[in-house]
Amino acid sequence: MADEIDVIGIGNALVDVLCHESEAFLDLHGLVKGTMHLVDEARARQIYDAMGPAVEVSGGSAANTIVGVASFGGRAHYVGKVRDDQLGEVFSHDLRATGVGYTTATATSGPATGRCLIVVTPDAQRTMSTYLGASTQLGPGDVDPRLVARGRILYLEGYLFDPPAAQDAFRVAAGLAHAAGRKVALTLSDPFCVDRHRAAFLDLVEHHVDVLLANEAEICSLYQVRDFDAALQRVRRHCEIAALTRSARGSVVVGGGEVHVVDAQPVEAVVDTTGAGDLYAAGFLFGLSRGMSLATCGRLGSLAAAEVISHVGARPVAPLGDLAGALLA
Amino acid sequence: MADEIDVIGIGNALVDVLCHESEAFLDLHGLVKGTMHLVDEARARQIYDAMGPAVEVSGGSAANTIVGVASFGGRAHYVGKVRDDQLGEVFSHDLRATGVGYTTATATSGPATGRCLIVVTPDAQRTMSTYLGASTQLGPGDVDPRLVARGRILYLEGYLFDPPAAQDAFRVAAGLAHAAGRKVALTLSDPFCVDRHRAAFLDLVEHHVDVLLANEAEICSLYQVRDFDAALQRVRRHCEIAALTRSARGSVVVGGGEVHVVDAQPVEAVVDTTGAGDLYAAGFLFGLSRGMSLATCGRLGSLAAAEVISHVGARPVAPLGDLAGALLA
C-alpha cells in the first residue's frame, strides 16, 4: 500500500513537567518511586506547588514511542486528545516537528491539556503523577478507520484503560486494525495500571493482542507471579510476540518458538530513566514494522532506551536512525 | 531594615521555548545570531512552526538574574507581567519555587504570556525571537513604592524600554529607588536594544544609573565606538560602577577609581550560552548588595555565568551559594 504507516500509536496526550527532588519529597507526598499515580486536578496542583523549578516538555507514553519511531526514520502517526490551550499547542507542535502525523480533533471545552508531573530522584528514577485532563475526552469517534487500516502496527498504551471513553476507543481501534489484517501491539504501561485492569488486560493479552510489551514488574503483576521466568513461560503460551524489558539486565524477546536474551546497551551515566520503556518500544516496533528479525528488534529497543536515559526527558535528542547505523543496513 | 531585599528585578516576563537548529535555520528566517529580535504574534507563530521539538522553561532576562540572586542565597523579588494562562502559571511557579518574591498582578485580558523562541546553534550560541505578549501590559501601577524602598538594589533590564508602558514603569521605579536612597542598576540587554533606545540609554547611564552591566557589543554600541577600551574610558566618566563582560575574555569592573580585570571561569564544555549575561549580573549584584569588593563581585559573576553555560537553559541548575563556597566566606 503506497500510503502505509509503520506504526500508529494511541495514548493519553500529556505534557511532562519535570523537576529534580530528593527521596524525601516522594515520602512527603505519598508517592511510590518508579510508578505512575493518577491524580485529580486539586492533587496535581498540590504536588506542583511543592515542586521546585520545572521544565515543560511534551510527553505521553505512546507519543514518546511514536516520536521514537519517527526518529528511526519510520512513518508514524499519533492519536490522542489535547485541549485548545497553550500546553495543547506545545504537545501538537512537538509531535509535528518530529514528522509525526497528528490529526486528532482538539477539544474546545472541558478540562485542560493533561499533565504528567515527573519527579526525578538522585538515582535517576522517575515518579509520575498524572492529571489526565483533556485525555479523558478521547473516544471511539476519534479513531479514523481509514487511518488505522493504513498502519502496519497499531500500538496501544495500557494507560488508555484509565479514562473510560478512551478504553472504548482502544477496543474499537484494535477491532479495526485486526479487520484490516494489521497487528495490534500493547504495552502494559505500569504495574499499578495492570492492578487496576488485570482482568481486562489478561483477556486482551490472551485473545486480542499480537505483540506485547511489558517490563518485569508489569508482566509479573499481570500473572500475579513473583518470578520473571514463570511470567515468561505464561506469556509464551498466549502472545504471538512479547518483548519483556528488565532495566539494566536487558530484555527477553519471545515469538514463534524463538527466545532471544538481549543485553541492555551500556551507557556512560544514567541521567533520567523517564521514557526508557517508551523508547524500547519505539525501537522494537520500528524493527518489527520493517520485517526485521526479533533479535534485531530487541537490539533496536535497547539502543533507543540507552539514548533516552542518557539525558533529561523522555524523547530522543539524537536521531535514532543515525545511531542505529549498521543495525538498519 | 529588617525586611530588606537584596535585589529587586523588573523585566519582561517570558517563557523560553528552546530548540536546537543549524545555522541555516537562522539564515532562512533572517535572524542575526546571538541577538534578540522582537517579533509580533504572527511572526512568532511562523518561527515556532518551523522550529523542531522544543523545551519550555521559564525565562526573561531580569527574572533569570533574580533567580540567580536567590540561588546565591540572596533575598530577591521580581516585578513583571504574565497573563492568567498556562505559561503564566509556569512562569510564576518557577519563580516562587526558587524562593523569589513575585506579587505582580496577573493580567486577566489582553495578549497571552510572552514567549522567547530561542534557537541554539551547534556553536552553543543562542538567537532569540521575543513575542512580548502580556509583558507589554506592565505599567507604573505595577510598581509598589514600599517594595522598591525595601530593595538595596533595583535592577532594570534594557529590554523594558521596548514596551512603552513598561518604560514608564522603569522610570517610576528608578525614581522611587533613588528617593529611598537605593542604588539603580541597568543592563543594556542587547546591542539592537541599545540601537533602538540609544539617546534614552545615554541619558540614563550618564544621569540616572548607579550600576551599569553591559557586554562588549552593547557598550560599544552605546557610545558608537569600535574599540572596547574606548568604551571603557567613556563609561568610567559617567557611572559609579560598571561591569563589562567580554565572553571568554572575562570582564572588566570599574568603580570609584578602581579597575579590575576578571578572568572568565573555565568550563569543560560550553553547551548553551543562553543566560550567560543574566547570571553574570546575578553574581555581581548579589555581591554588591552584600557589600563585597568589586573584584569579588566580578568573580561571583564569572562563577554564575560558567554554571549556566554548562547546560541547556538560562537558569542555574546547581545552587550557586554552594558553588561560590570560599568566595562568600
Strand B241-245, strand B55-58: pairing: unpaired
pLDDT-derived band at B327, boundaries 50, 70, 90: confident
- Between chains, do B52 and A85 touch, taking CB under 8 Å as contact? no
Distance, in Å, from the CA atom of B147 to the CA atom of B8, rounded to the nearest integer, reads 8
Tell me if A25 is assigned to some domain.
no
Instruction: Using the predicted structure, report yes or no on whether residue B245 has a pLDDT greater than 70.
Output: yes
Q: Tens digits of per-residue pLDDT, B139-195?
A: 999 999 999 999 999 999 999 999 989 999 999 999 999 999 999 999 999 999 999
A38 lies in some domain: no
> How confident is the model at residue A122, as a pLDDT?
94
Is B177 near chain A, with CB under 8 Å? no
CB-nearest partner of B97 from A52, A86, A112 = A52
The domain that holds B277 is classified in CATH as: 3.40.1190.20
Which A residues in the span 257-286 are in contact with B, Cβ-Cβ below 8 Å? Answer: none
* Predicted pLDDT of residue A1: 61
Q: Which domain holds residue A294?
A: 5-12+60-111+134-323
Backbone angles phi, psi at B129, to 5 degrees: -120, 110
- Please check whether residue B318 touches A, CB under 8 A: no
Do B82 and B107 form a contact (C-beta atoms < 8 A)? yes
How far is B58 from chain A, CA to nearest CA, in Å? 8
HEC assignment per residue over chain B: CCCCEEEEEECCCEEEEEEECCHHHHHHCCCCCCCEEECCHHHHHHHHHHCCCCEEEECCHHHHHHHHHHHCCCCEEEECCCECCHHHHHHHHHHHHCCCEECCCCECCCCCCEEEEEEECCCCCEEEEEECHHHHHCCHHHCCHHHHHHEEEEEEEHHHHCCHHHHHHHHHHHHHHHHCCCEEEEECCCHHHHHHCHHHHHHHHHHHCCEEEEEHHHHHHHHCCCCHHHHHHHHHHHCCEEEEECHHHCEEEEECCEEEEECCCCCCCCCCCCCHHHHHHHHHHHHHHCCCCHHHHHHHHHHHHHHHCCCCCCCCCCCHHHHHHHHHC
Q: CB-CB: which of B55, B67, B87 is closest to A55?
A: B55
Q: pLDDT-derived band of residue B2, with 50, 70 and 90 as boundaries? A: low
Is some CB atom of chain B closer than 8 A to the CB atom of A93?
Answer: yes
Residue-level pLDDT, tens digit, chain A, 329 residues:
669 999 999 999 999 999 999 999 999 999 999 999 999 999 999 999 999 999 999 999 999 999 999 999 999 999 999 999 999 999 999 999 999 999 999 999 999 999 999 999 999 999 999 999 999 999 999 999 999 999 999 999 999 999 989 999 999 999 999 999 999 999 999 999 999 999 999 999 998 899 999 999 999 999 999 999 999 999 998 889 999 999 999 999 999 889 999 999 999 999 889 999 999 999 999 999 999 999 999 999 999 999 999 998 899 999 999 999 888 87
CB-count burial class (<10 Å; 0-12, 13-18, 19+) for A187: buried
A11: left (phi over 0), alpha (psi -120 to 50) or beta: beta
Interstrand relation of A183-187 and A151-157 (parallel, antiparallel or unpaired): parallel
- Residue B249 located in a structural domain: yes
Domains identified in chain B, total number? 1
Chain A residue numbers with beta carbons less than 8 Å from the beta carbon of B67 are: 53
Residues of A in contact with B94 (CB under 8 A): 53-54
The answer as to whether A190 is a domain residue is yes
CB distance B52–A86 less than 8 Å?
no
Contact assessment for residue A90 and residue A50, using Cβ atoms and an 8 Å cutoff:
no
Q: What is the pLDDT of residue A327?
A: 85
CB contact under 8 A, B57 and A55: yes
Q: Does the residue A46 lie in any domain?
A: no
* In a domain? residue B38: no
Contact between chains at B54 and A94 (C-beta distance less than 8 A)? yes
Distance from CA of B241 to the nearest CA of A (A): 32
Among B10, B171, B1, which residue's Cα sits nearest to residue B76?
Answer: B10
The pLDDT score that the predictor gives to residue B312 is 86
pLDDT of residue A2: 65
In angstroms, the separation between the Cα of residue B133 and the nearest Cα of chain A is 13
Within-domain flag for B174: yes
| A52 in contact with B, Cβ within 8 Å | yes
Q: Is residue B77 part of a domain?
A: yes
CB contact under 8 Å between A55 and B51, yes or no, is no
In Å, how far are A185, A318, B94, B97, B178 from A298, measured between CA atoms? 15, 19, 40, 41, 67
pLDDT in the model for residue A326 = 82
